[in-house]
Structure formats: structure tokens, C-alpha cells
Amino acid sequence: MKNNMHVALRYSVMIGMMYLPAKTFAACGDPVAPQVNWSHCNKVDERLVGEHLIGANLQGSNLAGAELMDAMLIGANLSGANLRNADLRDAVLLEADLKKADLTGANLGGANLAGADLFGAKMEDAVMENARLDGARWHTGEWCAPDSIGSCR
């Protein structure tokens, strides 16, 4: 009886495993596309000017020095990403997740960060001139007021 229960349990587990969704892994060589999964990829100095990365998973990626001017990063996950000295001028980062991202020396001039989450981000020497921050959560945890431009009010 004990043996039969063990076999039945083992069989049930095997059948159940067949129905589990496959885990999605980053394919760092995948082409630029909305919702691309480049989590934890090395994209240092990558040229992504004007690219559409809407909903992309860039969590923990190394984008140091990347050229992301005019890029569409709406709803993108950039949490924990290294964006040191990246050029994000005029990029659209509406509702983007930038929690704990390293934005040291990044240029976000004219970028639209409305509704973005920057909590815990490193912002030393980041250029924020004319950046829109309406309803964004600032790196200190405070919420930016409507019409916050260049700094969180």
C-alpha cells in the first residue's frame, strides 16, 4: 500500500509539472522590440536612440553610457539597472520602474518621467533640466507634485 501511494504521488507530481508555465529567461541577443527581456544583460555603451522599448524588462541590466535619447521606455522595468552616464535626453519613461537604478551622471534632460518610480535610485550628478516628474516617486520616497519640472516639488 505504501509503495502504491508513493508511485501515485510521484506520478501526480510529474503530471502537475507538465502544466507549469515555462520560466522566461533573458535572451541578451534578442533584437530591440517592445517587451523585450534583457534583464541582467550587458548593454554598455549600446546605441538605442529613438528605439521602442515599451514594457521592456531591463531589470539589473548594465546600460552604463548607453545612448537612449528619444527612446520610448513607457512602463519599462529598469529597477536596479546601471544607467551611469547614460544619455536619456527626451526619453519617454512614463510609469517606468527605476527603483534602485544607478543614474549617477545620467542625462535626463527633457525626459518624461511622469508616474515613474525612482525610489532608492542613485541620482548624484544626474542632469534633470526640463525633465517632467508629475506624479513620480522621487528617489527619497516623496511624491512629486503635478507640474514638477526639473526637480521634484
Tally of helices (H runs) and strands (E runs) in the chain: 1, 0
Question: 3-class SS at 138?
Answer: coil
Amino acid at 120: G
Q: What is the residue range of 61's domain?
A: 26-153
Contacts of 29 (CB under 8 A, 6+ apart): none
Domain for residue 13, yes or no?
no
Tell me how many domains the chain contains: 1
Polymer length in residues for the chain = 153
Q: Cα 50 to the chain's mean position, in Å?
A: 16
Q: What are phi and psi of 57, to 5 degrees?
A: -100, 105
Q: What is the pLDDT of residue 40?
A: 98
Please report which helix (H) or strand (E) contains residue 17, including its range.
helix 2-18
Q: What is the mean pLDDT of residues 69-85?
A: 98
Residue 86 has pLDDT above 50, yes or no: yes
Residue 55 has pLDDT above 90, yes or no: yes
Domain for residue 18, yes or no?
no
Q: Cα 68 to the chain's mean position, in Å?
A: 13
Domain for residue 32, yes or no?
yes
Domain for residue 21, yes or no?
no
Question: What would the grid cell of residue 111 be?
Answer: 525626459
Euclidean distance between CA atoms 96 and 41, whole angstroms: 18
Residue 13 has pLDDT above 70, yes or no: no
Q: Give pTM, 2 decimals.
A: 0.83
Domain for residue 3, yes or no?
no
Confidence band, pLDDT 50/70/90 cuts, at residue 25: low
Burial of residue 49, with CB atoms counted within 10 A of its CB: 0-12 exposed, 13-18 middle, 19 or more buried: middle
Residue 9 has pLDDT above 60, yes or no: no
* Contact in structure between 122 and 102 (CB atoms under 8 Å): yes
Domain for residue 17, yes or no?
no
Q: What is the mean pLDDT of residues 18-38?
A: 75
Domain for residue 63, yes or no?
yes
Q: What is the mean pLDDT of residues 104-127?
A: 98
CATH number, residue 141? 2.160.20.80
Domain for residue 20, yes or no?
no
